[in-house]
Amino acid sequence: MRTTVNLTPDVEAEVARLRREHGLGTSEAVVTLARRGMQRGSARQRFVQRTESLGARIDVSNIGEVLDTLDHE
């Protein structure tokens, strides 16, 4: 398929780098970048919630109570 695309300067620089370092044509370099992008999207890391002790001296598990406490002080 033939089409015209407008590349942002950062993408254009990466295409130029691929062409220079790997001896690729423009189309081959753009396809290589597109394939890299597609591969990264499929290997998402699982989100893990981290907890840290904040040294809080009040119970903050119920935000409504916390706000009421702060309003009264």
Q: Which residues of 7-44 are buried (b: 16+ CB within 10 A; e: fewer)?
A: eeeeeeebbeebbeeeeeeeeebbebeeeeeeeeeeee
Average pLDDT of span 2-13:
93
Tens digits of residue pLDDT in 27-70:
999 999 999 988 866 566 788 998 888 777 777 788 888 888 88
**Does the global pTM surpass 0.85?**
no
Displacement of CA 67 from its chain's centroid (Å): 34
Q: What pLDDT does residue 38 have?
A: 86
pLDDT digits (tens, 9 = 90+) for 8-34: 999 999 999 999 999 999 999 999 999
